[in-house]
Amino acid sequence: MFDRSLLARPSIEVAPLLLGATLTGRGVSVRLTEVEAYMGEEDPGSHGYRGRTKRNAVMFGPAGHLYCYFTYGMHTCANVVTGLEGTSSGVLLRAGEVLDGVELARARRHTSKIDADLARGPARLTVALGIQLSDGGHDLQSGEICLELPTVLANYETGPRTGVSGRGGGDEFPWRFWIPGEPSVSPYKRHLPTLRQC
């Protein structure tokens, strides 16, 4: 359980609070080590930038729920909805360290060669936890997927978000937060524009 009011704030305030939090999903528990903040209609990198749609409606709902989306035609990524209801603030769960259920996480992530890779990256994290697209809207205070906030704020570093292009990327949005020295933190990848051949 957690105090929902702690999450009912802008994502850039909530993101550091989620570092060190425990997310449990279907037999696996992960300590979050890396997250990214997205600020909705004021953030060109956010799914909520152009307003509410059927796809992103969960982002505009109450804080403390999962917003899940499908990317690259094959991966599910998960966010914790933050901010006041009616806004579209969220925190992408980028990486974590598997604490419990390692064998189950290994079975789900059978291509990982080392345990630090089991939940290293947003798609790997959801696979390790058994989170699916259909879990969008799930309340993280109950059920098969639940969140427990840490009692002490973790030391953290910030930098540009990974793979965000255009006006939502770069050094002006240092909204990626991670625990330094954690092997489960994913490597930073700057978005590179696609070069077209003539």
Residues 75-100 have pLDDT tens digits of 899 999 999 999 999 999 999 999 99
The C-alpha atoms of residue 74 and residue 46 are separated, in whole angstroms, by 20
The CA-atom distances, in angstroms, between 152 and each of 52, 53, 186 are: 34, 36, 23
Q: What is the pLDDT of residue 198?
A: 40
Instruction: Name the pLDDT band for 189 (thresholds 50, 70, 90).
Output: low
Beta-bridge partner residues of 88? none
| Percentages (nearest 5) of helix, strand, coil residues in the chain | 20, 30, 50
The radius of gyration of the chain from alpha carbons, rounded to an integer in Å, stands at: 16
Find the angle CA(146)-CA(152)-CA(158) to the nearest 5 degrees.
90
In the chain, the domains with their CATH numbers are 4-178 (3.10.300.10)
> What's the whole-model pTM score?
0.90
Instruction: Name the pLDDT band for 171 (thresholds 50, 70, 90).
Output: confident
Q: What is the pLDDT of residue 190?
A: 63
- Name residue 191's amino acid: H
Q: What is the pLDDT of residue 194?
A: 43
98-137 confidence digits (pLDDT tens):
999 999 999 999 999 999 999 999 999 999 999 999 999 9
Q: What is the pLDDT of residue 16?
A: 97
The C-alpha atoms of residue 32 and residue 21 are separated, in whole angstroms, by 6
The C-alpha atoms of residue 170 and residue 163 are separated, in whole angstroms, by 9
